[in-house]
Each structure stands twice: as structure tokens, then as C-alpha cells.
Amino acid sequence: MTERSPLAVPFPLLPPIAGARPAVARARYKEWDRCDLTFVALDEGTSVAGVLTNSKCASPEVEWCRKALTLGSARALVVNAGNSNAFTGNRGRAAVEALAARAAAHLGCQPSDVFVASTGVIGVPLPIDKAEAGLDGAFGAAECGWLDAAEAIGTTDTFPKGAVQRAVIGDRAVTLVGIIKGSGMIAPDMATMLGFIFTDAAVEPGFLQQLLNHANRRSFSCITVDGDTSTSDTVLAFATGKVGNAPLASFDDPGADAFAAALDALCLDLAHQVVRDGEGASKFIEVQVTRAITDGSAHRIAMSIANSPLVKTAIAGEDANWGRVVMAVGKAGEPAERDKLSIRFGNTIVASNGCAVEGYDEAPVAQHLKGQEIEIGVDLGLGAGRATVWTCDLTHGYISINADYRS
């Protein structure tokens, strides 16, 4: 077992969400004695939205969810940990269908109301006997808390990850909770990892999807651990409506702005926790790119920096090697002018106008780099485009986790 990340944050107190009842069970997908199947029963009337990986080799679970999302309603979520079921051909597809059918039979709903997500090794079909036994066990089990669910969906995660936000819609206070797993193979492409959000608010599925897309663009799509996009990235948001607010259908509805802001904050919190549990991470790094020609260009430059092994190892070594940031800007394939560029570590500008600043004093930068929260700023001096992304450093821990064992 890998040690708990030094960047770990405590699991917050997450309240129950009316209309959503999580339960966990032991499917024993691997040789371990822990819960690895999570089942969340959802009341009738629950709307759903989701963002899924753009991988060309997406898992059958992702394909299943993509299809089910077109209907906009949900009655259950099933999450398997320890086996991603990706790249398993017809057997993998059959396993997802069987699992959805069995959950539907338990609940008396359509299989298309059942959302399925799996995470773990690629290429091994999900053992349907274990999955069904686990599902039956979870269906018969008592409702659990979100912490149990957050632990049950994890794989190489070193700490359980969750977040909560509240908003007021009209005269009702609504609550949003989210749980997420992810540590390696993190470079979400429009979606990410496995993340699940539950709210008691009533939100029309189309509008919920619009809000989730927006939140995703500024959170899950702005993090990377290793630049490796998973075949199973899935974020689903379920709105049970149990709080009884007038359903949100557009930004014209009272409370929609507050709900959107809460969802944005929730997704950002969850995304940051994934970075904090990045494999081998010892530093949490925020990369801010400003004055690029467009936001998209700023994002691609920020990701080029955040994915550079040389930048990430320099931060691991607490080395103020800003030349590697220059390199990463230069290779991004985006408009940049060397002689207009300025670079900042923490609050200290280290280089500007194409060279190191006059009388550059490394002391405050060295001090900043000794901390666990690192900030790299790049000002391109070209336009109004900006982006912020988050990553972690690249350490011996990453190599140990991914090379020193046989999968």
C-alpha cells in the first residue's frame, strides 16, 4: 500500500442527499478485503448529466453512459473498483448490460436508468459473477455514508476525496455533494476519472448538462498528473429534486446562478483533490497563463508546462529552473514571442523581456519552492487569453508506483 499523499486533505463532513441512498459491498475484483462495489439507488424523478472521456478506446461503461445520458433520467449508479473492463470486446459489453439489467430488476426500472462506471486494470473482462454477487450484496446492505462510498470507488488513491457545497434556490436551501477517485492516468480530455455528484435540487437534465459542461471546463479539464488520458473517465451529476424547489431550467430561473457557482466550486474542489493524490506527488502546482492570444491558446500552453517532465522534476527538486518553463512555452505550438514573455514563481518575477530580470535574487523563489503549494505564472504579453491549470510534481514515487511492480 502506498503511503498517504503528503498533500492529502481531510474528508469533509458530507450530509445525506434526500433521494440518493449509497451502499457498498465486497465484489472482490482483486485479492483484497475491502468494499469495491458501490451502488447508489436514486428516487424516481432524478435527472442526470455527465461528461465522458474523449478517448478513442473508451470502455463499454463509457459507451453505456453516453447512450443512457440521452434520456436524462437516472435511478441507479453502480461503480466497480479494481477492474476497468476497458478493451474487453463483447464480453465487456455483455457484463455492463447484465449488471444494468440486474440493478434495474432490483429497482423495477429500465436498464437505461442505470449508470455504470468501472476503474482498474485495462483488458480483463469484468467477472460478471462477482459483479452480480456484489450488486446483490449492496442492494441488501444498509445505506452507508459518502465516506464509505468514496473509499469503495478508489484504487491507487491514497486518501478518500469528497466535497460539499450549498446554494439557495428561491426559498429552498439545496446541497451538492461529490465524491471522486483518481491518482494516475490523469489528463482528462473534456472529462475525467470517476467523479459523482449528487444534489437534492431539482434541475432539468438539459440545464444540468449545460452547467456540468461549464464546471468541467474550469476544473476536471484543467488538471493533469501524467498527461495520460484514461479510457474510463466519467463524471456524472445526479439531481434528485427532493428539496422541492421549482426545477431549474435556465439561467433566468431564480437561484440558477447560485447553483451554478456551487457546482463550479464543487468540481474545482474535487479536481484539486485528484491532483493532491497524484501518484508520487509532493507538491501541488498551479500554472497561470495570462495574455495569450486566446483562452484556448493559454490553456494549451499551461498544459504544456504542467505536462513537462523537466518542469515537474525541477519542482520536485525545489530547483528554480525557470529555463524549463521557457522550453515548455516554446514547444507548445502556440503563438508566443520569446522577447515579450515573463515568468513568475510565487510572487517573484524571474524573467521578462526575453531574459532574466536585472539583479535576479533567487532567495524568495527558493523559499517559495520549499513549500507544498507552488505557483508558476507566465505572461505572454500578446492578448487577453488566460487559463489556470493544476498539476503535481514528478518524483521517484511516480516511478515506484508504476514501474516497480508487475500489474
Going by the annotation, the residues of the binding site for substrate are: 155, 181, 192, 279, 402, 407
Write out the three cell numbers for 204. 432539468
How many Å separate Cα 64 from the centre of its chain?
A: 19
Nearer to a copy of itself, 3 or 33 (CB): 3
Q: How far is the CB of 328 from a copy of itself (least distance, A)?
A: 7
Closest residue by Cα to residue 150 from 272, 24, 19, 21 = 24
Q: Is residue 88 flagged as an active site residue? A: no
Q: How far is the CB of 166 from a copy of itself (least distance, A)?
A: 36
Nearer to a copy of itself, 48 or 99 (CB): 99
> What is the number of residues in the chain?
407
3-state helix, strand, coil split of the chain in percent (to 5) is 35, 25, 40
d(CA 108, CA 20): 16
Beta-sheet strand order (sheet of 284-292): 223-224, 385-392, 284-292, 373-379, 342-345, 348-352, 355-356
- Identify whether the C-beta of residue 76 lies closer than 8 Å to the C-beta of residue 39: yes
Q: How far is the CB of 83 from a copy of itself (least distance, A)?
A: 11
In the numeric block, the cell 434541475 is attached to 203
Beta-sheet strand order (sheet of 20-25): 20-25, 37-42, 76-83, 114-121
**Backbone phi and psi for residue 116, each to the nearest 5 degrees, phi listed first:** -125, 135
Nearer to a copy of itself, 181 or 242 (CB): 181
Q: How far is the CB of 295 from a copy of itself (least distance, A)?
A: 18
Catalytic residue among 46, 88, 175, 192: 192
d(CA 236, CA 117): 10
Q: How far is the CB of 114 from a copy of itself (least distance, A)?
A: 23
Nearer to a copy of itself, 210 or 313 (CB): 313
Nearer to a copy of itself, 319 or 373 (CB): 319
Going by the annotation, the residues of the binding site are: 155, 181, 192, 279, 402, 407
Q: Which residues are catalytic?
A: 192
